[in-house]
Amino acid sequence: MKKRKNIITVAIDSPAAAGAGTQARLIAKHYNLLQLDTGRIYRLIGKLKLENPKKFGYSFVKKKINNLRLKSLQNKNLLSDKVAISASIIAKDKKIRNMVHQFQQKCAYSPPIRYAGSVLDGRDIITVQVRDAMFKFYITASLKVRSKRRFKEYKNLKKKITYKEVLKSLRNRDKSDRQRKYGPLKKTKDSILINTTKLSRKRCFEKIKVIMDRKLNI
Ligand code: C5P
């Protein structure tokens, strides 16, 4: 893969439902960057496992990733809690993580020419995927606030799930994502901490924008 030179690269790591996806979207729009929500790839694989328990295996996953289109990651049926849990289980597998790696590298370092760069968010973006990113943000919020936000999203999507179930699910996923052996979620020293517990989307983006504009000399 040929890396494009002089592009803007933004890497974001965060626990589930901390607002990283929303900020990545706002950053992508404002700075004209290709956006990749890497959790969607793991969700897609997690969903494949739920739907094809017998066929599911490395070669099956590899084929799917080789033919992966960004558009298929927009599918709303990736947004259920069941799929998220399945995603966090398959995400522990080193071989699967390596398969996803190549796709992420291409998006990060070689986005289509119409974009000025890329913004990726996930759990291991700063630590593994885009270690030399121009901007590194670690976005977080309290478990309670994240659960409230996710519960509201599920309600809007008409999902049948209680607040308590959402809280429990996020707590378990936090634990699994932080303690797993490969690509665990952790904050690096060189990333900027943004705590969105008491911040609105707008205020959060304003903070990020100040940091980015300063370095980009805008
Ligand atoms: O971000 P989202 O909640 O959609 O991610 C679903 C799951 O995918 C996470 O709980 C995590 O286990 C996995 N994931 C990962 N590495 C990433 C992004 C997501 O392991 N870069």
Q: Which atom of ligand 1 is nearest to the CA of 173?
A: 10
Cβ 100 under 6 angstroms from ligand 1: no
Distance 218 CA to ligand 1 centre (A): 33
What pLDDT sits at residue 1?
Answer: 84
Q: Whose CA is nearest to atom 20 of ligand 1?
A: 91
Question: Can you give the pTM of this predicted structure?
Answer: 0.97
- Going by C-alpha positions, the residue among 104, 130, 110 that lies closest to residue 190 is 130
Q: In this structure, are strands 33-37 and 192-195 parallel, antiparallel, or unpaired?
A: unpaired
Task: Give the nearest ligand 1 atom to 176 CA.
Answer: 12
According to DSSP, the β-strands at 192-195 and 135-140 are: parallel
Ligand 1, atom 19: closest residue by C-alpha: 39
Q: Which of 86, 76, 85 is nearest to 153 (CA)?
A: 76
pLDDT value, residue 218? 79
pLDDT, residue 167, reads: 98
Coil, strand or helix at 35: strand
Say if ligand 1 is within 6 A of residue 87 CB.
Answer: yes
User: What does the pLDDT profile of the chain (218 residues) look like in tens digits?
Assistant: 899 999 999 999 999 999 999 999 999 999 999 999 999 999 999 999 999 999 999 999 999 999 999 999 999 999 999 999 999 999 999 999 999 999 999 999 999 999 999 999 999 999 999 999 999 999 999 999 999 999 999 999 999 999 999 999 999 999 999 999 999 999 999 999 999 999 999 999 999 999 999 999 87
Using most ligand atoms within 8 A of CB, pick from 41, 119, 123, 138 the residue to mutate for ligand 1: 123
What are the structural domains, with CATH classification, of the chain? 8-193 (3.40.50.300)
How many residues are present in the chain? 218
Residue 133: the pLDDT is: 98
The alpha carbon of 165 is separated from its chain's Cα centroid by a whole number of angstroms, namely 22
> Is 43 close to ligand 1, i.e. is its CB under 6 Å away?
yes
Instruction: Identify the burial level of 58 via C-beta atoms within 10 angstroms of its C-beta, where 0-12 means exposed, 13-18 middle and 19 or more buried.
Output: exposed
Task: Give first-to-last CA distance, the chain, whole Å.
Answer: 30
